[in-house]
Structure 1
Amino acid sequence: MMGKLLYEGYSSGKYDFAVREKFAQANIYAKNSQSILSKATGFINVYDFTLNPYRGCQYGCSYCYAAAFSPNSKMRDDWGKWVIVKANAAELLEKELVKWYQSNSRSPSIYMSSVTDPYQPIEAQEKLTRQLLEIMIIYKPKLVIQTRSPMITRDIDLLQRIKHLRINMSILTGSERVRKDFEPMSPSIKARLHAVKKIKQQIDPWKGYVPKISVTVTPLLPTFPEEQADFINSLAVADRVVIQEFHAQNQGRSLIASTRQEALTLTKKYAWWYDNEQQSYHQFKQQLHELLTGVEIKEGKEGFTYE
């Protein structure tokens, strides 16, 4: 059996992959993958496949469960400071979609992405996600894009050509102070909301397909009471809002979806919310229902379906 691949900077001796470049404070590596479509399991098992153009994520959010799937413990501890570019992703996607249609008459459903952000900063240079969208226009899967990046608006010209598309924009709090604590390297709340509005405004239903749009408030982070109503009202731009609490705490196992210790430590700063998290969660959910008439409110796994 082949041993684990080693990366420069995370190996005490020889390594298999050198740092290709430094991009926005992250080590960038590039490698060819064996496959690009992975069988969807667990939380998103309603899909046929997950698709992750990159491994690792420059946003490095404190709560992100995906850190558990890092190549080794050192890279897990350095979550946000490295990215592996799957250099042959576009070539693989076309091959794997051709193979799918050889034995299936229906279109596959794809969730992009489950353990990375397809529009993290390196995408501005690589345009790997854009290449994948160009292929999906041809092969017509049912697609969900999960991101927290306004960069998605760059691809409006392609997005409007995908008939079955849902865009999930992650916005976990209505308070910039909270965002800067839990996810300091991520885009602002204002920029994300503007991106959703731009998509809705610029996709003409007479000239293209209008995507379904969700705002995923998952996991739900604190929003200061004086900012809650304005935040919730701003979510009316979506047709669905999804809420969810933190994942369970990691009990010593590495390869499970769990909330990282960095986020759990931060919760002490927000004791006014987390000392009674269940009550905070239910009060927020109640406000969603009261203020967002005409918007679908879903919780947890149920909210991550395409339909």
Structure 2
Amino acid sequence: MAKPHYEGYTTEKHTVLLRENFGSANVYAKNTQSILNQATGFINAYDFTLNPYRGCQYGCSYCYAAAFSPNSNMRQDWGNWVIIKQNAAELLQKELARWYPNNPDKLPRIYMSSVTDPYQPIESKEGLTRQLLEVMLEYAPILILVIQTRSPMITKDIDLLQRFKNLRINMSIPTGSEAVRKDFEPRSPSIKARLNAVQKIKQRIDPLKGYVPKLSITITPTLPTPLDEQEVFINQLKIADRVVIQEFHASSGRSLVASTREEALALKRKYAWWYDNEEKSYQQFKHKLASMLTDIQIMEGKEGFGYE
């Protein structure tokens, strides 16, 4: 199949038109060949990854997913474009229908999402993630779903989420400091808004009328939280049943590899008080988590992203 050329990001004749601008993002829409893709590497405990979109409007400085952009121009402009997989719901229906006759005794394990945020701003208009949830609800008792997001927008789908028997929601909150957040991920929602979203999910689901999902807060990658803010932040994490921490991905000069981006590496120099001895800072923070959150799972890296 010929490689697509996106309007605004190619010197060739474009084959994918710019559909619109949404905020600061160029929005494209195209069909995809598959929507359930084999899970590999860091999340190989799952059968499939499910990414409703390609690209992410949050454009976090450290995001490894930029490496998987369609071309180098789009990689450099990470955060300013998003591709809607417009046939995603139809494909998901077909692919799940094919799975079950061939795997009658196995629950498919689905991770949504690995290289995008399913609740990035465009979701407020498109509702594509909601459509996918509606498709999966046909199989809700017999599938396992993990949703990874940093967006409070997930609360708009509580009516659907409470119908999944096997669901874990991972809310990404890499730091307890708003100043640090604004440096590393300035387009993302506030820490307070994310914590409130987790609390809202817990409070609004009546366990007698629906399923309360498992709730994780993923401090990944673990960004600096100043010492005078750590205690307040850690106490706020008690709303979850699991906290996951993880250091930065290793750096790499290669373009198609999951690694920490130059933008984040440059920011690390601003926080020398943490990064001059990163391993010590990380270990001290981990110890404080364990000492203050005695009734909550504290997990690291790959292990923490499992469903159980």
Shorter-chain TM-score range: over 0.9
Q: Tell me the residue number matched to 2:258.
A: 257
Whole-angstrom distance in 2 between the partners of 1:14 and 1:124: 31
Aligned pairs for 1:142-291 within 5 A: 142-250=144-252, 252-291=253-292
Aligned pairs for 1:1-307 within 5 A: 2-105=1-104, 106-140=106-140, 141-250=143-252, 252-307=253-308
Once the 2 structures are TM-superposed, how far is the Cα of residue 15 of structure 1 from its aligned partner?
Answer: 0.5
Judge which range, 185-194 or 11-20, deviates more.
Answer: 11-20
CA RMSD, Structure 1 to Structure 2 (Å): 0.6
Once the 2 structures are TM-superposed, how far is the Cα of residue 18 of structure 1 from its aligned partner?
Answer: 1.0
Give 4+ residue runs of structure 1 displaced > 4 Å after superposition: none
Whole-angstrom distance in 1 between the partners of 2:10 and 2:207: 52
Identical pairs, percent? 72
Count, aligned residues: 305
Whole-angstrom distance in 2 between the partners of 1:133 and 1:244: 28
Specify every segment of 5 or more residues in structure 2 that has no aligned partner in the other structure, as ranges.
none
Once the 2 structures are TM-superposed, how far is the Cα of residue 4 of structure 1 from its aligned partner?
Answer: 1.9
Partner of 2:210, secondary structure, is coil
1:137 maps to a residue whose letter is L
2:123 maps to a residue whose letter is E
Once the 2 structures are TM-superposed, how far is the Cα of residue 3 of structure 1 from its aligned partner?
Answer: 3.4
Contact 2:215 2:240 in 1 (8 A): yes
Once the 2 structures are TM-superposed, how far is the Cα of residue 293 of structure 1 from its aligned partner?
Answer: 1.5
Once the 2 structures are TM-superposed, how far is the Cα of residue 124 of structure 1 from its aligned partner?
Answer: 0.3
Once the 2 structures are TM-superposed, how far is the Cα of residue 255 of structure 1 from its aligned partner?
Answer: 1.4
Contact 2:5 2:12 in 1 (8 A): no
- What TM-score do you get using the length of structure 1 for normalisation? 0.99
Once the 2 structures are TM-superposed, how far is the Cα of residue 80 of structure 1 from its aligned partner?
Answer: 0.1
Whole-angstrom distance in 1 between the partners of 2:116 and 2:207: 30
Whole-angstrom distance in 1 between the partners of 2:64 and 2:70: 14
Partner of 1:28, secondary structure, is strand
1:125 maps to a residue whose letter is K
